[in-house]
Amino acid sequence: MASAENVPTPEKPTKAHAAPPAERTARPPVDASALEHRNLRGGEFWREIPAFANVSEEEFLDYKWQMKNSLYGEDKLLELMDGLAPKAFVDDVLRGFHLAPMAVRVTPYLFSLIDWNDPLHDPIRTQFIPVASRLTMDHPMLTLDSLHEQADAPVAGLTHRYHDKALFLPLDTCPVYCRFCTRSYAIGVDTDVVEKVSLKVSPKRWEEAFAYIESRPELEDIVISGGDAYNLAFKHIEAIGMRLLAIPHIRRIRFATKGLAVMPMKILSDERWLDAVTRVAEHGRKVHKQVCIHTHFNNPNEITEISRRATNTLFERGITVRNQTVLQRGVNDSQETMRLLVKRLGEVNVEAYYVYQHDMVQGVEDLRTSLQTNLDIEKFVRGSTAGFNTPTFVVDAPGGGGKREAHSYEHYDRETGVSVYSAPSVKPGQLFTYFDPLHSLSDAARADWKDADKREQMVQDALLAARNHQGQR
Ligand code: SF4
């Protein structure tokens, strides 16, 4: 090691002269009509759906109408698809219904945004309406609760994993059900393939969660999720928000809702709910605590002129909205689509916060991508817009390691598809493995995953390589 005496003293630098460049270049001007992120879908697009052809704007923008007319169950599906999709497609969906871990629930708004000329490849259909023909074989390492939320929950519906943050699940319903839901172990009604853990609305259970939060002075940040905070009654929004803000050590709360992406008209027509959120946010400002909304847009087609009206309303009320996207095959796994999504979020004043690698949940393997896809898209997107509007691409480490920046793996074997992460501030000393989906691997690697001994060997090899990598630092 160099001692202070033998560190060389720098020579006095010669004076640098700043000179103007020999030639100045300007970026070529852009045709404003080519700025696709500003072109949001408007007009009465829902009238293109035969079942909604006579629905007025007033009705369509009423959240109660949206809820009442949501697609929920086979009969409604058949009614809405009548005259829209070929019989073979409808049959494919009906078979998909019985194989899905999540119940199906889709708002008329979302249903109208699907391209019914090509529903099989539509990114919105892909996320919400299962079709049997697209399902692929599960990776053998998948589980229902891949993030171990229940194991890290001291009280039912309260996951305390990070030092200063907890996830509070006050209910188990949502305005729509997403095929890819990481909480398919609990959210929505039972399906043919999953019997759910119950997290019903229960002020008694909530009080147990609040008591735990009060007893833990290190907790500063509470995510109120679910289910979906959109489905909480306005009086519950206010009661939960004010209760948490009254706990001295709580500094930040966030209401997590996918609502803005799937039913933005609630912000425009449910005054009591919006006013309740606003009152909590205003009270938060008075006591110098942050109250935000975290939402969940996944594809640029989900951002319309109606979304813009809703996000503008929240912006006018001083409520920050951040977005968390899930990377999904056929939805947003192209570089251009993700860039357009990020730019469009900025256009409607939503901060692009995270892009998650799809969790390793069972039954929706067709939606997962390799980690490499994530890394490539991140490289492409970074630099497209301001850094504060650029999402961080993360892997939520399976087994409860928490969110890890996708590039921060200790080891990634692209042949076997095994990546290994560590989480020194969450679970020191532990390693966490993520597995690329089988459909992204070579035939040889796919065959190896079918063999229990080889499977174990691939995991052990990856963990050893990760430990060696750590030892070299
Ligand atoms: S809205 Fe959220 S909690 Fe509800 S189904 Fe979708 S991903 Fe799951």
For the stretch 2-48, pLDDT in tens is 455 677 777 777 888 888 788 888 888 899 888 999 999 999 999 99
What is the spatial distance between Cα 360 and Cα 273, in angstroms, rounded to a whole number? 34
Give the number of other Cβ atoms within 10 Å of residue 471's Cβ: 7
Please check the confidence at residue 398 and state whether its pLDDT lies above 90. no
Cα 184 to ligand 1 centre (Å): 8
pLDDT value of residue 4: 57
pLDDT at 196: 65
What digits encode the pLDDT tens for the residues 271-313? 999 999 999 999 999 999 999 999 999 999 999 999 999 999 9
Among 86-95, 185-194, 206-215, 350-359, where is mean pLDDT lowest? 185-194
Residue with CA closest to ligand 1 atom 3: 227
- Ligand 1 pocket: which of 72, 145, 178 to mutate (most atoms within 8 A of CB): 178
Least confident span in 13-17, 65-69, 411-415, 462-466? 13-17
Residue 3 has a pLDDT of 57
Quick check: 338 and 297 in contact, CB under 8 A?
Answer: no
Q: What is the pLDDT of residues 319-328, one digit of tens each?
A: 999 999 999 9
How much is the pLDDT for 18? 82
Q: Point out the ligand 1 atom lying closest to the alpha carbon of residue 226.
A: 3
Residues within a 6 A CB radius of ligand 1: 174, 177-178, 181, 183, 187, 226-228, 258
pLDDT in tens, 405-435: 999 999 999 999 999 999 999 899 999 999 9
The residue nearest atom 7 of ligand 1, judged by CA position, is: 181
Whole-number Å distance between alpha carbons of 70 and 64: 10
Mutate to test the pocket of ligand 1, among 177, 182, 263, 331 (most ligand atoms within 8 A of CB): 177
Atom of ligand 1 nearest to the CA of 177: 5
Which residues neighbour 344 within 8 Å (Cβ) at sequence distance 6 or greater?
37, 40, 300, 303
Q: How many Å lie between the centroid of ligand 1 and the Cα of residue 248? A: 30
Ligand 1 atom closest to Cα of residue 173: 4
Measured CA distances, 291 to 152, 169, 214, 267, 351 (Å):
25, 17, 18, 17, 14
193 in Cβ contact with 100 (< 8 Å): yes
The residue with tokens 């697009």 is 45
Average pLDDT, the chain: 93
Least confident of 119-123, 171-175, 194-198, 312-316: 194-198
Q: By alpha-carbon position, which residue is closest to atom 6 of ligand 1?
A: 178
Which atom from ligand 1 is nearest to the alpha carbon of 262? Answer: 1
Which numbered atom of ligand 1 lies nearest the CA of 180? 7
Q: What is the pLDDT of residue 100?
A: 86
Which atom of ligand 1 approaches the CA of 183 most closely? Answer: 8
- 402 vs 473, which has greater pLDDT? 402
pLDDT for the residue numbered 400: 84
Q: What spacing in Å lies between the alpha carbon of 16 and ligand 1's midpoint?
A: 58
**pLDDT(191) > 70:** yes
Mutational pocket test of ligand 1: of 174, 191, 354, the residue with most ligand atoms within 8 Å of the beta carbon: 174
What does the pLDDT read at residue 5?
64
Atom of ligand 1 nearest to the CA of 225: 3
Nearest CA among 393, 381, 439, 442 for reference residue 413: 442
| Structural domains of the chain in order of their starting residue, each with its CATH number | 43-134 (no CATH), 158-404 (3.20.20.70), 409-473 (no CATH)
User: Tens digit of pLDDT for each residue in 216-257?
Assistant: 999 999 999 978 999 999 999 999 999 999 999 999 999 999
Quick one: which of 261, 102, 245, 121 has its CA closest to 185?
102
pLDDT band at 72 (very low <50, low <70, confident <90, very high): confident
Question: Which stretch, 20-29, 88-97, 331-340, has highest mean pLDDT?
Answer: 331-340
d(CA 190, ligand 1 centre) in Å: 15
Q: Which long-range contacts (CB under 8 A, 24 or more apart) does 125-129 make?
A: 126/179, 126/328, 126/330, 126/331, 126/367, 127/178, 127/179, 127/180, 127/298, 127/299, 127/328, 127/331, 127/367, 128/104, 128/176, 128/177, 128/178, 128/179, 129/77, 129/93, 129/96, 129/104, 129/179
pLDDT of residue 189: 75
Give pLDDT, residue 12: 79
